[in-house]
Structure 1
Amino acid sequence: MKQAVLYVGHGSRVKEAQDKAISFMRSCMPLVEADIQEICFLELTKPSIEEGFEACVKKGATHIAIVPLLLLTAMHAKSDIPIEIEKGKQRFPHVQITYGKPIGVNQEVTKAVVARIEEAGYRGERAQILLIGRGSSDPDVKRDVCGIADDVRNMLPHAEVFPCFITACEPNYRDVLAQLTADHDTPVYIVPYLLFTGILMKEIEREASKVRKRLQNIHVCRYIGFHPHVKAAYIERIKETILNKEDAFRFRGDRHASNPS
């Protein structure tokens, strides 16, 4: 019996993002007990999930724990990755598969959010915090971001926390920025809830610049990225997936895995 872990990144056209994702997943490997560990990507970056699956099998894997490196629960986790897993299952029906959860709502991730706010200068005073998620038509994305926002409120009781989104669901972060009232004594912290820098991060920075004349005490925090607390949360998901062998992946044909959330 050989246990494999297949790490599944999203993939990116930006080489810096590819390299950071690969470096992060490789840094997790020494902390994981498995005979075989391989990296693959859903799209835009090689190797593909199919190629990652095949690499595990070629090395003798009899059980593969497949763990998505995704902050939020959405259609990539619920549909796109399970479809690719099913292809692997059809090719190698003798291999047992368990499919892990995205990072989702997790106290370690909340700690990473708070750390980014504190890096930007927050010291526990009254403040307004915009937690900006990418957004999706999937309602679970809004649920996850709002859940993280609730946890941030609990950790930072003097701050108002506004969950908002870049696209596809409400409220849009531009609308929330427009509604904030100018109060020079109350700092505003913008937290991009993103794994990578790139176009979306630049967009947020441009929007923040537009409102600086009105909201002078505004700070754009670093995107969440691969903070050590994010790493702790991801390691937790990997270990859950390895231990959950009895709940093997079963594709039911309804666009969902057996444990999609």
Structure 2
Amino acid sequence: MTIAHEVQPGSDVRSGSAERIGVMVCGHGSRDAKAVAEFAALATLLEDRFPDWPVDYGYLEFARPVIRDGLDRLAAAGVTRILAVPGMLFAAGHAKNDIPSVLNTYAAGRPGLSVEYGRELGIDPKMLQAAADRIRETLAAAPDLPAHETLLVVVGRGASDPDANSNVAKVTRMLWEGFGFGWAETAYSGVTFPLVAPALEKAARLGFRRIVVFPYFLFTGILVDRIYAAADEAAARHPGIEFLKAPYLAGHPLVIDTFVERVREILTGDNRMNCGLCKYRTQVLGFEAEVGLPQESHHHHVEGIGTGQGAPRHGHAHDHAPGHRHDHDHDHHHHHDDGHDHLHAGAGGHGHHHPYPHADHPLGPRTLKRG
């Protein structure tokens, strides 16, 4: 079947078919009610961009609706072809493994329903511009200071997938060079290293007059609160340095534009996740034992548990093309917005699959919690 190269929202691409397209946004979930509300608001913004297609959403864990609830609503609305995208910045375990597992399981028992999976937001010029806007907002509200006297700290979520972690570092470098800041550092909220507190302590010792702390997160939550709290604590320890807390991305229009692009990529056949450094496909240094593991999800025990409510809704075979399946396992080392760590199998967690090889790093979560 030929897929058209140019597809506009509201148009079906299969000539002469009776299919109906719907869009599904798959989130992680949080115990933080504001984070859940912000994600629900994202779905509303996408509805405006796809006026002729039903749009729904759901979460892996800690909030409702869960992903299958959103899929059920789309199916009940007569949708025969679901275009699902991960509501995530980078592709680590949730985007590579857990969400595809849920989608594949759902579609397997429903003949006549196609569920196709898109890629994460990733490194994208629009996302970088949205991040730059958040930093500019912060600088505009502060006294004027030359860029070379400012240090930028970009904080990512952190994963046991080195490819995802390296993408945060790339965002840092792109923003650093783009603004011409004097220096920049990358930190992570959990799982990997360096965590926020030691990264800020290092940054404070480099002699810059101002430090901008920017959480590269889509939504609020406990982790973002902790990042800002760490910035406040660092400011108290170093009163001679001005610490500025930049807002996270939230519903920036360019973020919405990127989501729209990811949906359209499924239809145009341009839907290619980066596989070159995927630890489940390639022998990545330190993660060699994880190549080719079977795919499965480990979120059933916390599915829908959390805030107790969500916003009401109306009513390898390593191919990342439409119809995306992964025949291998993905990241099982999670740090959730509810504030607990899943550093599995010898890393203080539930003991399944492979441990994060650097769980004992002196600037990482396990070591710091002992201190």
TM-score by length of 2: 0.63
Distance 1:252 1:101, change over 3 A: closer
1:233 aligns with 2:258: yes
Identify the match of residue 81 of structure 1 among 90, 94, 99: 99
Tell me the CA shift for residue 64 of structure 1. Answer: 1.0
What is the aligned partner in structure 2 of residue 91 from structure 1? 109
Match for 1:108 among 86, 102, 126? 126
Counterpart of 1:177? 200
1:193 paired to 2:211: no
Distance 1:92 1:180, change over 3 A: same
Following the alignment from structure 1 to structure 2, what is the Cα–Cα distance between the partners of residues 3 and 171?
43
After superposition, residues 12-27 of structure 1 pair within 5 angstroms as 12-27=30-45
The aligned residue for residue 248 of structure 1 is: 322
Structure 1 residues 242-251 or 112-121, which shifts more?
242-251
The amino acid of 1:199's aligned partner reads: I
Write the letter of the residue equivalent to 1:190.
V
Aligned-pair CA distance for 1:145: 0.4
Alpha-carbon separation, structure 1, partners of 2:133 and 2:182: 14
Aligned residue identity for 2:198: D
Match of 1:50 in 2: 68
Matches for 1:209-228 after TM superposition, within 5 Å: 209-212=232-235, 213-214=237-238, 215-228=240-253
* Residues 59 and 160 (structure 1), Cα distance of their counterparts in 2 relative to 1, 3 Å cut: same
Counterpart for residue 125 of structure 1: 147
Give the number of equivalent residue pairs.
256
Give CA deviations for 1:63-97 in whole Å, capped at 9, x if unaligned. Answer: 11001111121111011101101111211132223
What is the letter of the counterpart of residue 322 of structure 2?
A
**Native 8 Å contact 2:196 2:230 kept in 1:** no
Instruction: Specify the code of the residue in structure 2 equivalent to 1:171.
Output: P
Q: Map residues 139-178 of structure 1 onto 2, 5 A cutoff.
A: 139-178=162-201
Shift of 1:19: 1.6
Return 234-243 or 99-108, whichever deviates more: 234-243
State which drifts further: 30-39 or 223-232. 30-39
SS of the equivalent of 2:82 reads strand
**Which secondary structure does the structure 2 equivalent of 1:255 belong to?**
coil
Give the match's secondary structure for 1:208.
helix
**Shift in Å at residue 184 of structure 1?**
7.2
What RMSD over aligned residues (CA atoms) do the two structures have, in Å?
Answer: 2.3
* Whole-angstrom distance in 2 between the partners of 1:184 and 1:178: 11
| Runs of 5+ consecutive residues of structure 1 not aligned to the other structure | 257-261
- Aligned-pair CA distance for 1:142: 0.8
CA contact (8 A) 1:98 1:245 kept: no
**Alpha-carbon distance change, 57 to 188 in structure 1, aligned in 2, over 3 angstroms:** same
Separation in structure 2 between the aligned mates of residue 79 and residue 252 of structure 1, nearest angstrom? 7
Shift, 1:250, TM fit: 4.4
Q: Which moved more, 1:202-211 or 1:3-12?
A: 202-211
CA–CA distance in structure 2, aligned partners of residues 27 and 7 of structure 1: 12
Q: Rg: which structure is higher?
A: 2
Q: Identity rate of aligned residues, in percent? A: 24
| C-alpha distance in 2 between matches for 1:130 and 1:230 | 21
Q: How far apart are 1:37 and its partner, in Å?
A: 2.1
Equivalent-residue separation in structure 2 for 1:206 and 1:245 (angstroms): 41
Cα contact 2:208–2:241 (8 A) shared by 1: no
Q: Does residue 8 in structure 1 map to residue 8 in structure 2?
A: no
C-alpha deviations, 1:131-181, integer Å up to 9, x for none? 001111111221220121122133212342212112222222322221224
Q: Pick which of 50-59 and 178-187 moved more.
A: 178-187
- Structure 1 contact 96–248 (Cα < 8 Å) conserved: no
Letter in 2 for 1:248: P
Change in CA separation of 1:94 and 1:250 when aligned onto 2, cut-off 3 Å: farther
Question: Contact conserved, 1:18 with 1:45, CA < 8 A, in 2?
Answer: yes
SS where residue 147 of structure 2 aligns? coil
Distance in structure 2 (CA, Å) of the matches to 1:113 and 1:53: 31
